[in-house]
Amino acid sequence: MATNFLKQRELAIMAREQKILLREAEIMQREKALHLGENNTAANAALNALNQAQLVEANQNLVVASIRAQTMMEAAEQANAQMSHMAEHDLLTGLPNRSLMTYRLEQSMTLAQRNNYQVALMFLDIDHFKNINDSLGHAIGDELLQSVAKRLQACVRLSDTVSRYGGDEFVVLLSEVKDPEDSIIIADKLISAMAMPHQISGHLLHVTMSIGISLFPVDSKNPEALVRDADTAMYQAKKKGRNKYMMFTQDMNLRAVARQSIEQALHQALLNQEFVVYYQPKVNLETEQIIGAEALIRWQRTQHSLIQPIDFVSVAEECGIMLPIGHWVLREACRQTQAWLKAGLPIGQIAVNVSATEFHNKGFFEGVRAILQETGLPPHLLEVEITESGLMQDIETTAILYALKEIGVQIAIDDFGTGYSSLSYLRNFPIDTLKIDQTFVKDINASTGETIVTAIIAMGLSLKHRVVAEGIETQEQLDFLKSCHCAEGQGFFFSEALPARDFATLLERSLT
């Protein structure tokens, strides 16, 4: 804007200078005429002709300068309009950006209050969008965002606003809502629209969306709070399984505050070394001898009872602190196992759970190798456990698994049967162990539970995998697993997870 103003001033100055030069030329000619004498007719005629030519040239220059000034002013106005549009719209999708959406939200809330109707705000996030960027590249991801933007616009009224809020997040503003059910109808429409595959550069992409909905003036009375409430509701939709919508409720704020408190405490816990590793024995089901252990994290928060992983691991993953926590658990488990081996306690393999966040982190493999070198633990005594869903997240999984196998680390699929593995995946991945999820073991006395457990054991044996049953709690469960030739297991029937000192005592007793 400042540059355009300066150019316009320069043009005005040029025009004024042209007029000044013209006046000076006229004065000079008059002076010459007086000098030569008024009676010199021939000289006067020549001077008049010269004056006329100079006047014509000066007028032409003035016209050219005026045209140039007008052209530059029009170009400046067009540039201003383009800059204004760019300042208010997303460059990739062409949708209104956060700034313009906020302005329109403020206007809609003012009108709604005056006319006694509601405004609905919908916060949308593409589920697992990062996997597309990681596996197919950001160019494909950008094309997908453009396709999503077009579908969203096709689902709403012209009076509504679809904006890109940032990354893979979109906000839809429904400016006039007479009933909350209206927003639910639109949410269902959006989810259905996303269910159709996107044809992107030869790839057929299936994506889903999680949606949070907040209402003015029911939930919040200012734009920032309304957006925050919709975001909170969207987060709950993801927790409930994704590909759905959730209406905001006030108790969600209480959960959000509690989650924020846990997140802050986790950062402090890492600094204060409040995490501890417990060890649950894995046994040979025939001999009931300890043949290994699973390392399980616990949080010994100051002046609190021991906190189980289910109460904090998901928060740690979402806030990005799971990477340093997981690295610490892996190192501590390897260090302790090597210490037991040096003390003459043959623990066997140590199994360590690895979250999908850790497993797909670029530095995961190098981190495992560095820990093994630092602690001196033989690689074949470490078993990395990852869930089925964690294995299926991107195309680099196979390379990571084979890299681990190459240095001798064992691979186990944890909670097997709860994800979506197929025989082809099991054949392609260098898997050593299948761990039957404890929910199936718990249902062994029911016909469905026995059928699933029998099938998993048979599948594992046919593929020459070790099969470990989790959550064994009764003699009946143990007897059934033995009858199906399941070789290994763990659970409260043998021992709960124990601190390192108590586990060492248990191991010493088992050797005598």
What tens digit of pLDDT does each residue of 58-70 get?
Answer: 666 666 666 766 7
**Whether residue 318 is found in the same domain as residue 351:** yes
Residue 121 is predicted with a pLDDT of 96
**Whether residue 299 is found in the same domain as residue 396:** yes
Residue 34 is predicted with a pLDDT of 56
Mean pLDDT confidence for 423-449: 81
3-state secondary structure at position 341: helix
- Render the burial of 52-71: b for 16+ CB within 10 Å, e for the rest: eebeeebeeebeebeeebee
Given a contact cutoff of 8 angstroms between Cβ atoms, the answer to whether 322 and 358 are in contact is yes
Instruction: With residue 164 as reference, give the H or E element that holds it.
Output: strand 161-166
Residue 136 is predicted with a pLDDT of 85
Residues 6+ apart with CB under 8 A from 494: 281, 283, 288, 472
Q: How far apart are CA 211 and CA 234, in angstroms?
A: 5
**Whether residue 204 is found in the same domain as residue 339:** no
Domain contains 238: yes
**Whether residue 241 is found in the same domain as residue 305:** no
Mean pLDDT confidence for 125-136: 86
Q: How far apart are CA 259 and CA 406, in angstroms?
A: 40
**Comparison of pLDDT for 52 and 107, the residue scoring more:** 107
Q: How confident is the model at residue 415 (pLDDT cuts 50, 70, 90)?
A: confident
Query: What DSSP state is assigned to residue 493?
Result: T
Q: How confident is the model at residue 434 (pLDDT cuts 50, 70, 90)?
A: very high
Query: pLDDT for 373-398, tens place per residue?
Result: 999 999 999 999 998 767 765 556 78
Residues 6+ apart with CB under 8 A from 301: 265, 269, 274, 307
Residue 296 is predicted with a pLDDT of 96
Residue 17 is predicted with a pLDDT of 64
Query: pLDDT for 483-495, tens place per residue?
Result: 999 999 999 999 9
Domain boundary pick from 38, 53, 86: 86
Burial zone of 241 (CB within 10 Å; 0-12 exposed, 13-18 middle, 19+ buried): exposed
Query: pLDDT for 270-279, tens place per residue?
Result: 899 999 999 9
Token readout for 347 is 């623990």
Residue 86 is predicted with a pLDDT of 66
Distances (CA, A) of 81 to 3, 4, 11, 57, 120: 14, 12, 21, 36, 30
Residue 13 is predicted with a pLDDT of 65
Residue 285 is predicted with a pLDDT of 95
Q: How many domains does the chain have?
A: 3
Given a contact cutoff of 8 angstroms between Cβ atoms, the answer to whether 333 and 339 are in contact is no
Given a contact cutoff of 8 angstroms between Cβ atoms, the answer to whether 344 and 361 are in contact is no
pLDDT at 101 over 60: yes
Q: How confident is the model at residue 416 (pLDDT cuts 50, 70, 90)?
A: confident
Range of the domain at 332: 262-511
Query: What DSSP state is assigned to residue 509?
Result: H
Residue 356 is predicted with a pLDDT of 84
Domain contains 257: no
Domain contains 255: no
Strands 203-205 and 198-200: antiparallel
**Whether residue 477 is found in the same domain as residue 425:** yes
Q: How far apart are CA 216 and CA 12, in angstroms?
A: 52
Residues 6+ apart with CB under 8 A from 286: 482, 487
**Whether residue 77 is found in the same domain as residue 200:** no
Residue 26 is predicted with a pLDDT of 63
138-154 vs 180-195: helix crossing angle, rounded to 10: 140
Choice among 56-65, 153-162, 206-215, 260-269 with the minimum mean pLDDT = 56-65
Average pLDDT value over all residues in the chain: 85
**Whether residue 242 is found in the same domain as residue 326:** no
Token readout for 397 is 């999984």
Percent of the chain with pLDDT over 70: 80
Residue 399 is predicted with a pLDDT of 86
Q: How far apart are CA 61 and CA 18, in angstroms?
A: 7
Residue 146 is predicted with a pLDDT of 95
Residue 457 is predicted with a pLDDT of 92
**Whether residue 114 is found in the same domain as residue 134:** yes
Residue 507 is predicted with a pLDDT of 92
Strands 245-247 and 275-284: unpaired
Top-confidence range, 59-73, 361-375, 425-439: 361-375
Q: How far apart are CA 405 and CA 353, in angstroms?
A: 16
Query: What DSSP state is assigned to residue 417?
Result: T
pLDDT at 32 over 80: no
**Whether residue 409 is found in the same domain as residue 477:** yes
Domain contains 394: yes
Domain boundary pick from 248, 270, 295: 248
Range 92-97, long-range pairs (CB < 8 A, 24+ positions): 92/142, 92/145, 92/146, 92/164, 93/145, 93/146, 93/149, 93/164, 94/149, 95/149, 95/153, 95/162, 95/163, 95/164, 95/170, 96/161, 96/162, 96/163, 96/164, 97/163, 97/164
Mean pLDDT confidence for 338-351: 94
pLDDT at 116 over 60: yes
pLDDT at 348 over 70: yes
**Whether residue 266 is found in the same domain as residue 237:** no
Query: Domain of 124: which CATH number?
Result: 3.30.70.270
Mean pLDDT confidence for 459-482: 92
Domain contains 93: no
Token readout for 37 is 């004498």
Strand partners, 283: 290, 489
pLDDT at 4 over 80: no
pLDDT at 424 over 90: no
Domain contains 362: yes
Residue 20 is predicted with a pLDDT of 67
Q: How far apart are CA 336 and CA 343, in angstroms?
A: 11
- Render the burial of 260-299: b for 16+ CB within 10 Å, e for the rest: eebbebbeebeeeebbebbbbbbbebeeeebbbbbbbbbb
Given a contact cutoff of 8 angstroms between Cβ atoms, the answer to whether 291 and 348 are in contact is yes
Distances (CA, A) of 182 to 177, 230, 246: 6, 16, 14
Query: pLDDT for 219-260, tens place per residue?
Result: 888 999 999 999 999 988 998 889 999 999 888 877 777 778
**Whether residue 72 is found in the same domain as residue 118:** no
Mean pLDDT confidence for 310-328: 88
pLDDT at 94 over 80: yes
pLDDT at 423 over 70: no
Amino acid at 398: T
Domain boundary pick from 216, 248, 280: 248
Query: pLDDT for 12-21, tens place per residue?
Result: 666 566 666 6
Domain contains 387: yes
Domain contains 91: no
**Whether residue 357 is found in the same domain as residue 499:** yes
Query: Domain of 267: which CATH number?
Result: 3.20.20.450
Place of tokens 């916060």: 123
Mean pLDDT confidence for 93-118: 92
Token readout for 425 is 């995946």
